[in-house]
Amino acid sequence: MESQDKIHMLIDSFREVKKASNQLLSRQAEQLGITRIQFMTLTALMKQPHIGLTELADSLRMGNSTMSGIINRLVKAGLVERKRVDTDRRSVALQLTEKGKEVEKQTYLLYSEALSALSDIPDEDIDNLIAVHRQIINKLEKEREGTLHEHKPGTSDGADL
């Protein structure tokens, strides 16, 4: 098998893993009446309480208008609250309510329980896979930034990826 074909298979396998894990997380979140994106938002707010909408949107790689709609639904559901920032009355910080913390915790537990099916994979294999993933991410980010090398049409065989 050609090196280029193997690289394509590898990238395709990432997509398959992401799709399967997203579907699993969606199913776990739906059991508690939220969407996968809402769960990701709750988790981000759990890790970074009192964050602003723009920072939250950036951390989840979403647009402000999309994030605003998600937050509006979470506020309406009683999972998130908006608080005025004392030092800047124009700014609003977002934080989880007690109900939001509980829903995030329960969803996380359900998802973790479902992922326990992977626990028979040896730690060494997981460590190696993580190392390879980091290597690929770094190379692709450098490529995206244009710092790996300059591309000339028809000159790359893809072996450096």
Q: Where are the domains of the chain?
A: 31-120
Q: How confident is the prediction for the chain on average, in pLDDT?
A: 88
Q: Which pLDDT value is given to residue 120?
A: 95
Q: Which pLDDT value is given to residue 111?
A: 87
What is the share, in percent, of the chain residues with pLDDT greater than 70?
Answer: 90
Please indicate whether residue 21 or residue 152 has the higher confidence score (pLDDT). 21
CA pseudo-torsion sign 74, 76, 79, 83: positive
Please indicate whether residue 21 or residue 88 has the higher confidence score (pLDDT). 21
User: 147: pLDDT confidence band, cut at 50, 70 and 90?
Assistant: low
Residue 148 in this model has a pLDDT that exceeds 60: no
Class level of CATH domain 31-120? mainly alpha
Mean pLDDT of 21-50: 93
Contact assessment for residue 158 and residue 8, using Cβ atoms and an 8 Å cutoff: no
Cα atoms found within 13 Å of the Cα of residue 133, Cβ hemisphere only: 10
Specify the DSSP element, H or E, that contains 127.
helix 123-145
Q: Which pLDDT value is given to residue 123?
A: 95
Question: Of the candidates 45, 27, 44, which has an alpha carbon nearest to the alpha carbon of residue 35?
Answer: 27
**Which range is least confidently modeled, 48-52, 88-92, 113-117, 132-136?**
88-92
Residue 59 in this model has a pLDDT that exceeds 90: yes
